[in-house]
């Protein structure tokens, strides 16, 4: 009996690695768009994380004929009235911005704001079924932004997202710990019962 196939609707290698690690214990064949030779550009113009996650999952499910898992996430900083939020990946005012550019720009925006810079990561996972069904799961984690980068794990805003109770940034966490605490980890964990239901033989 072959494993059920699940397509991860992302071209971000860091994100794909995290999700694969979270789903490692399940009897699933985890595929990426690259594995299938799929090249799809999904415009993330939704008004919520759920809408963007759903757009990605549905686009890849329709293109592949497979159950697909998409996600969208964002960093919400209280001192910036919840920004960058939905625009976390497109926050820096540059045509092509790197993760480092986005972190630098965020810290520039916070420079004159009083600390602590409390913040949270939000994530929504969407599971799309070729026949047309869609299921959602959410997760979040609380912390604060710090002005200096620490750690070499992770990606995005991880090096400046700090857990006061641990004394560590997201980028200083080992994968096992990150996959217990992160917003994406919690959303994916909440999606596992959904996956088991829709992928049942």
Query: What gap in Å lies between CA 93 and CA 122, rounded to an integer?
Result: 22
pLDDT, mean over the chain:
92
Tokens 């059920």, residue located:
4
Q: Is 72 a catalytic residue?
A: yes
Q: Checking DSSP bridges between strand 134-145 and strand 84-85, what pairing results, if any?
A: unpaired
The DSSP secondary-structure symbol of 94 reads S
Query: What gap in Å lies between CA 166 and CA 183, rounded to an integer?
Result: 16
Domain containing residue 191:
4-198
CA-closest candidate to residue 123, choices 46, 185, 41: 185
Give tens-digit pLDDT for 178-195: 888 999 999 999 999 999
Report CA Rg, the chain: 17
Q: What is the CATH number of the domain that holds 120?
A: 3.90.950.10
Give tens-digit pLDDT for 90-114: 888 888 889 999 999 999 999 999 9
Is pLDDT of 69 > 90? yes
Is pLDDT of 131 > 90? no
Write down the pLDDT at residue 179. 86
Query: What gap in Å lies between CA 99 and CA 102, rounded to an integer?
Result: 5
What is the reported pTM? 0.89
Tell me the two tokens of residue 63.
Answer: 């293109």
What average pLDDT score do residues 145-154 get?
93
Tell me the two tokens of residue 71.
Answer: 């996600």
Q: How many domains does the chain have?
A: 1
* Active-site position among 72, 99, 101, 112: 72
Write down the pLDDT at residue 2. 61
Write down the pLDDT at residue 201. 47
């Amino acid at each position: 009996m072959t494993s059920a196939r699940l397509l991860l609707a992302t071209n971000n290698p860091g994100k794909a690695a995290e999700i694969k690690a979270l789903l490692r214990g399940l009897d699933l064949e985890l595929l990426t768009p690259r594995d299938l030779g799929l090249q799809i550009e999904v415009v993330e113009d939704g008004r919520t994380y759920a809408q963007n996650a759903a757009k990605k999952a549905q686009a890849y499910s329709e293109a592949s004929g497979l159950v697909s898992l998409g996600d969208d996430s964002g960093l919400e900083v209280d001192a910036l009235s919840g920004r960058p939020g939905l625009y976390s990946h497109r926050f820096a005012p540059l045509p092509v911005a790197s993760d480092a550019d986005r972190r630098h720009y965020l810290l520039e925006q916070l420079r004159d704001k009083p600390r602590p810079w409390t913040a949270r990561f939000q994530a929504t996972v969407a599971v799309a079924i070729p026949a047309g069904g869609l299921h959602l799961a959410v997760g979040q984690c609380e912390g604060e932004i710090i002005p200096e980068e620490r750690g070499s794990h992770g990606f995005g805003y991880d090096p400046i997202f700090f857990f006061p109770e641990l004394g560590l940034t997201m980028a200083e966490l080992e994968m096992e710990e990150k996959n217990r605490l992160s917003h994406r980890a919690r959303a994916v964990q909440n999606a596992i019962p959904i996956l088991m239901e829709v992928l049942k033989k």
